[in-house]
Structure 1
Amino acid sequence: MAEAHQAVAFQFTVTPDGVDFRLSREALKHIYLSGINSWKKRLIRIKNGILRGVYPGSPTSWLVVVMATVGSSYCNVDISMGLVCYIQRRLPEGCGPYQTPQTQALLSMAIFSTGVWALGIFFFRQTLKLLLSYHGWMFEMHGQTSYFTKVWAICVRLLSSGRPMLYSFQTSLPKLPVPKVSDTIQRYLESVRPLLDDKEYHHKEALAKDFQNKMAPRLQKYLILKSWWATNYVSDWWEEYIYLRGRTPIMVNSNYYVMDFVLIRNTEVQAARLGNVVHTMITYRRRLDREQIKPVMALGIVPMCSYQMERMFNTTRIPGKETDVLQHLAESRHVAVYHKGRFFKVWLYEGSSLLKPRDLELQFQRILDDPSPPQPGEEKLAALTAGGRAEWAQARQTFFSSGRNKAALDAIERAAFFVALDEECHCHDLNDDACLSLYGKALLHGNCYNRWFDKSFTLVVFENGKMGLNTEHAWADAPIIGHLWEFVLGTDAFHLGYTDTGHCLGTPNTALPHPQRLQWDIPEQCQAVIERSYQVAKALADDVELYCFQFLLFGKGLIKKCRTSPDAFVQIALQLAHFRDRGKFCLTYEASMTRMFREGRTETVRSCTRESAAFVKAMVEGTHKKADLQSLFRKASEKHQNLYRLAMTGAGIDRHLFCLYVVSKYLGVSSPFLAEVLSEPWRLSTSQTTQFQIRMFDPNKYPNHLAPGGGFGPVADDGYGVSYMIAGENTIFFHISSKFSSSETNAQRFGNHIRQALLDIADLFQVPKADS
């Protein structure tokens, strides 16, 4: 049995002669090495904190300033303009052979140099923050960059040069600005105009103007005060009220999934794929801890906020009766694994050394070969994380607060991440969209009890070596996990590799202790709670219709020939497809990021505009000339791109209104306008998945190394969730979700409308399509 191989540092027995200690030298050696490793990490964090704290300065630049000051003194040039002498006079009179006038002079020059150096760092940081507050470059047409923007770009590049670490720019990033209430109200009314008839619009307009004139000024003052005091006036409330306070299941409703490469297969050995991937993930974690990952830079010069990456590993969402909390640990040396209804704890290190991929493969194969059955109540235990949050919180407090259950639960919640070894096989078939759709369903919810939905992410590996992620949403947004995933896929494919038989490279260490089987004592009352959570989760999962497909007729390359952004092209196609599907327009959500600001997360782009609605109506009528349709499309595209830029630069609509609503609740006042705004359903929720963010490999050289991105569940019961990835020059992947219980939606039908809408818009510009 696996649990018989647990490592013990020492044993003792009581005998008539006293206490007999039997020490294990091997175990003590590992304890010693582990302690050394912990101290190394502390020292690395201290060093990184110092280097990050003085960026863009460095110890070398400090030494240069000191040498310049001392050198000028020897040349009888006082560059301090008397400050060195002033500091020297203020030094306490010393005693002893080392307190000579020469040493006091050197000390004074060192103090002056340090002050000048620190002042220079402060000046450079404030200047960089001021420069990064300029966003005019985003609104300039491609190829028409102004002289001012060119000078700005040179200045930013000079101030952000050197070798920045992951968090070097955090204190130089500007704060997210609070928009004017009048601007937000105007943009809001403009966004809902195509959705309302005249009577409905005038009602909405009256509510908005009344709010703007009476209640908004008071709420805005509190919000501005918070923006002065807090690092970001949105992010903490967004995390708490949108994610952590939700009491409905996070499975489907919040968590999202990410897919593997679909056109290539590195190995079909399940344990081998897992060995390489887990090793790569912990290598990435080590780089995160040491801040060796370069910050993401827009245009190669504008830094993005990196704070979300801090909680990628060692993080678990802990349920509460009213609100959940995110538990993040500084370190975790194991992963938790689920297979055939059993839970295991797998150590990632031997002493201070990370296990090699072949050793990890051995450990995972031992789990696959373990014939032991699940303990009573163990098989469906993870369904607790898939059901209601309040029910899970109550069960956790009642049944998992002491004894073996607490120890086993701690092993899962304190793991670096969760691993699910599935018994199914999934793949992608170009001739059968059902394969990709089933693959997505397996990652989105599985069988409702083979994922630990509370972990920051669950790594799912199928029996044929295919894999994917199920990711909890509260700790970060999708682009953050995308960095990790691109690193994993690139490293696995191009750096680690496999043998001819599909195993990890190297020779395994068979002396490694076996994985530890977690022990549970789950009473019948708890088993009943688990079953109820499972039934809730199963009903939710069974209601999700997911349709995933690969659009092969054209991609980014041919869209650009229409002289528009690929994202605007797809968003307008979605509006056309939705109108054909439902016969009306709806409130549309597109996620954009605000990471050019400190601790920025997301903002909403309201993609259904008057311009896009005018284009769609003209297309549906079918009586307009092609030139007129082209003109309407360009206006809609330009409007969408402008809205996206406004959202990215802090001038969005929805986060501002959301925060005003939170302030109103704190003040105990109610606004009919805000209540209506916050209750409006997003019947079309969309998101673009970015690719090749960290450039692990050249997609032009390896065109088959395509991952389709991922997807999420529908936001509204009678709506669609659409995620898409414009994957290179000739491919677009779509993930469409809806609910079977709605008679108004059908994911596959909507997917067919999207296909046709893309083709119809391309035909307007006479863009030739590739052979299908």
Structure 2
Amino acid sequence: MSQKTFENQPKLGRLPIPPLEETLARYLRSIEPLCAPSDLSRTTSYITDFLKPNGLGRTLQQRLIDLDRSSPHNWLDDSIWIKKAYHEWRESVVVNSNWYLMFADDPSTPKECLGIIEKGTFGEWQVKRAAHLIVQILDYKESIDSERLPPDVTRLYPLCMHQYTRCFGVTRIPQHNCDALAYTPHPATAKHILIIARDQFYVIDVYDEKGRRLAAGDIAFQLQQIIEDVKKTELDPPVSVLTGDHRDAWTVAREHLLSIPQNRATLIDIENALFAFSLDDYTSGLNLDDWNRNAFHGLNGHNRWFDKALSFSIENNGRASLNGEHSPCDALIPSIVVDNILKTPVPSSLQKSGFEIPLPRRTRFVTDDRILKDIAAAQERVDKIIADSDAILLHFKEYGAHFMKSIGKVAPDAYMQMVLQLAYYKLHGKVVPTYETGSTRQFLHGRTETIRTLSNESKAWVEAMENSSLSSKEKYAIFQTATKAHSQYTRDASNGKGCDRHLFGLRCCLKEGESHPLFTDPIFAGSQVWLLSTSGLSAGDRFSGTGFGCVYPNGYGINYLPGNAVLKFGIESKKSSTETDSKAFRESVVNALRDMRRMCEDVNGKYNGRL
């Protein structure tokens, strides 16, 4: 008998609070590649003071333990993380926080839909695939709600399934100083989804009054009704652009929207919807980079509601993607959902339920001159964000994860991280703090910990790779040491023993007027300036690309999919930066991949390419 979705939840342990000595030793080692000896000596003295009996460090540790004891599930997730990591950050979620995922083309895609479809039109295939995807998404949601979805497990332990309950019906609400998530019980009680077309909002009830779910043919009919209506209707102003604005500006604009009584019902329609699905009346282009940018932020921030946890979109040629608001769940969980729904291709004909189906309903905002000014100001700011974002893709097809395991003889994730270290070093001639997302889902309500990829070992290896006097055998030996160090840090982070979340929690326990030089030391802040912000998802065979924005204006945001035969990278930097260049970095990644292949083959033999 298969396990129920949440059956393992009571068995999961709590996110640990490591001993101070462990965390600070790990932190000290992580900054060694960045520090001069004098800096390291100074930091060591700060750590010694922090650890002394009756010192501030001991007090903060006890406060953090008390926070854990008063937290129902997880000291970090319950009390700190969403607020500090996401909701207090006031910049636009567009590019800065939201992530995206591009779906591979459906195998049934008509040949005429592999090109550019006339702008300003909607397509028959677009409607058909959208209806099919909507049904697949609802099927997956129902498998979670009914607990038919088997729980995620590894070879060693079960994983927390809580984030699956944060995907549907969840919306971020802009508020002064700190945003919030609209409360959504699990299972989400809403029976409708939001459809956006030409910046107009429509509600589709995907369940009838008797609770019966509509079939794909029914939903296709409803989508066609929406298209016919939006073609002939007078278009309302693009209120959705406000969701891409600075959070404080959006908060004020939303409060004014709500001063007009009719708008509360419209916001409830939008915010309660299970998910959003946008129909784009254009093709972004045949170039993957163009499609990549449409998935990331839309052509100009229009036809999206960026605050929804899950916002799907489909261009008029049938290319589909997902844009995710980051705070309720990490991208890994929706990527698992999408990977599963894409297993079922669009059938030749869509089934209909046979019962009377509700017609779609348009839900509208009442606007005034002030709202129109807010939209215009938001558009100007969103345009600047989009214009500055240099987001591109790399599909590397010369080898993949199979080579990494069979010839490289290392874990693919460690290999990919070394690729990025070498690519950065080749291009910029230095090493920098590097963030990699590590999952702590073995713990109840666990989310992430930082894997600090930069290490003494990785620094030694990239320097060796650029040293022509060393043999491939010598470089490979240093490479093995670097990847083992990375894999060990990954295990530590997954076990709740990284240094970043613990130190973050300790800082959050400081009372007004308290400080310690450990936290004000420039090295402490500098070690978290993630000029390489990275994350890996699945093999991504059913995805065309994925990505997120850099976290510092002179850095890179890099998401990767290590498939057995194809390696996919999403790379983002800022055009305004004089230090970074996405296209140059992409070329450097290719060069690093080729150099590493030569090194591995020189030592372990030629790769025959067979999977």
**TM over 0.5, shorter chain:** yes
Structure 1 residue 513 displacement after superposition:
4.4
Equivalent residue number for residue 272 of structure 2: 414
What letter matches 1:686 in structure 2?
T
Equivalent residue number for residue 662 of structure 1: 508
1:196 aligns with 2:35: yes
Q: Is the 8 A contact 2:200 2:364 kept in 1?
A: no
Runs (5+) with no aligned partner, structure 1: 1-161, 429-434, 693-704
Structure 1 residue 265 displacement after superposition:
5.0
1:642 aligns with 2:502: no
Q: Is the 8 A contact 2:5 2:147 kept in 1?
A: yes
* SS in structure 1 of the partner of residue 343 of structure 2: helix
Equivalent residue number for residue 532 of structure 2: 684
- 1:313-332 pair list within 5 angstroms: 313-329=168-184, 330-332=188-190
Structure 1 residue 320 displacement after superposition:
0.4
What letter matches 1:423 in structure 2?
D
Inter-partner Cα distance in structure 1 for 2:58 and 2:352? 69
The normalised TM-score by structure 1 is: 0.72
Q: Is the 8 A contact 2:393 2:545 kept in 1?
A: no
* 1:391-427 deviation per Cα after TM superposition (whole angstroms, max 9, x unaligned): 1111211222442222112111111111111122257
Equivalent residue number for residue 149 of structure 2: 293
Inter-partner Cα distance in structure 2 for 1:248 and 1:408? 25
* 1:489-537 deviation per Cα after TM superposition (whole angstroms, max 9, x unaligned): 113x1xxx332xxxx4235869644321222210011111121122111
* SS in structure 1 of the partner of residue 533 of structure 2: strand
Structure 1 residue 660 displacement after superposition:
0.6
Of 705, 708, 721, which aligns to 2:557? Answer: 721
Q: Is the 8 A contact 2:206 2:214 kept in 1?
A: yes
What letter matches 2:81 in structure 1?
W
Inter-partner Cα distance in structure 2 for 1:437 and 1:281? 26
Inter-partner Cα distance in structure 2 for 1:287 and 1:569? 35
Q: Is the 8 A contact 1:554 1:770 kept in 2?
A: no
Of 537, 541, 553, which aligns to 2:386? Answer: 541
* 1:718-751 deviation per Cα after TM superposition (whole angstroms, max 9, x unaligned): 0001111011x21110111100000110011101
Q: Is the 8 A contact 2:260 2:366 kept in 1?
A: no
Inter-partner Cα distance in structure 2 for 1:372 and 1:325? 37
The normalised TM-score by structure 2 is: 0.91
Equivalent residue number for residue 216 of structure 1: 57
- The number of aligned residues is 579
Equivalent residue number for residue 117 of structure 2: none
Equivalent residue number for residue 207 of structure 1: 46
Inter-partner Cα distance in structure 1 for 2:108 and 2:514? 58
Q: Is the 8 A contact 1:342 1:374 kept in 2?
A: no
Structure 1 residue 601 displacement after superposition:
0.3
Equivalent residue number for residue 235 of structure 1: 77
Q: Is the 8 A contact 1:341 1:374 kept in 2?
A: no
* SS in structure 2 of the partner of residue 470 of structure 1: strand
Equivalent residue number for residue 595 of structure 2: 760
Equivalent residue number for residue 187 of structure 1: 26
Q: Is the 8 A contact 2:204 2:360 kept in 1?
A: yes
* SS in structure 1 of the partner of residue 193 of structure 2: strand
Equivalent residue number for residue 361 of structure 1: 220
Inter-partner Cα distance in structure 1 for 2:403 and 2:379? 47
* SS in structure 2 of the partner of residue 549 of structure 1: strand
Structure 1 residue 283 displacement after superposition:
1.6
Inter-partner Cα distance in structure 1 for 2:311 and 2:266? 17
Equivalent residue number for residue 462 of structure 1: 315
* 1:268-288 deviation per Cα after TM superposition (whole angstroms, max 9, x unaligned): 511111111111111211121
Larger Rg: 1
What letter matches 2:176 in structure 1?
K
Equivalent residue number for residue 436 of structure 1: 288
* 667 and 293 in structure 1: CA distance in 2 versus 1, 3 angstrom threshold: farther
* 1:292-347 deviation per Cα after TM superposition (whole angstroms, max 9, x unaligned): 11100102x62100111112101111110011111133311111111113211111
Q: Is the 8 A contact 2:457 2:482 kept in 1?
A: yes
Inter-partner Cα distance in structure 2 for 1:262 and 1:465? 8
Structure 1 residue 709 displacement after superposition:
4.6
Q: Is the 8 A contact 2:243 2:305 kept in 1?
A: yes
Q: Is the 8 A contact 1:340 1:374 kept in 2?
A: no
* 227 and 507 in structure 1: CA distance in 2 versus 1, 3 angstrom threshold: closer
* 341 and 708 in structure 1: CA distance in 2 versus 1, 3 angstrom threshold: closer
* 604 and 270 in structure 1: CA distance in 2 versus 1, 3 angstrom threshold: same
* 1:596-642 deviation per Cα after TM superposition (whole angstroms, max 9, x unaligned): 11111001110011011111111112111222111111110110110
1:556 aligns with 2:401: yes
1:348 aligns with 2:348: no
Inter-partner Cα distance in structure 2 for 1:393 and 1:412? 16
Q: Is the 8 A contact 1:553 1:769 kept in 2?
A: no
Q: CA RMSD in A?
A: 2.0
Equivalent residue number for residue 415 of structure 2: 569
Inter-partner Cα distance in structure 2 for 1:415 and 1:374? 24
- 1:103-122 pair list within 5 angstroms: none
- 1:389-428 pair list within 5 angstroms: 389-426=247-284
Q: Is the 8 A contact 2:464 2:470 kept in 1?
A: yes
* 599 and 341 in structure 1: CA distance in 2 versus 1, 3 angstrom threshold: closer
Inter-partner Cα distance in structure 2 for 1:254 and 1:411? 24
1:617 aligns with 2:467: no
* 610 and 732 in structure 1: CA distance in 2 versus 1, 3 angstrom threshold: same
* 1:671-708 deviation per Cα after TM superposition (whole angstroms, max 9, x unaligned): 3322443563110001001248xxxxxxxxxxxx6313
Inter-partner Cα distance in structure 1 for 2:574 and 2:503? 29
What letter matches 2:161 in structure 1?
S
Identity of aligned residues (%): 30
Inter-partner Cα distance in structure 2 for 1:261 and 1:395? 37
Q: Is the 8 A contact 1:547 1:747 kept in 2?
A: yes
* SS in structure 2 of the partner of residue 708 of structure 1: strand
Structure 1 residue 206 displacement after superposition:
3.1
* 598 and 331 in structure 1: CA distance in 2 versus 1, 3 angstrom threshold: same
1:673 aligns with 2:514: no
* 1:179-204 deviation per Cα after TM superposition (whole angstroms, max 9, x unaligned): 11111111111111111222333333
Equivalent residue number for residue 445 of structure 1: 297
1:633 aligns with 2:488: no
More relative contact order, 1 or 2 (CA 8 Å, 6+ apart): 2
- 1:40-59 pair list within 5 angstroms: none
What letter matches 1:480 in structure 2?
I
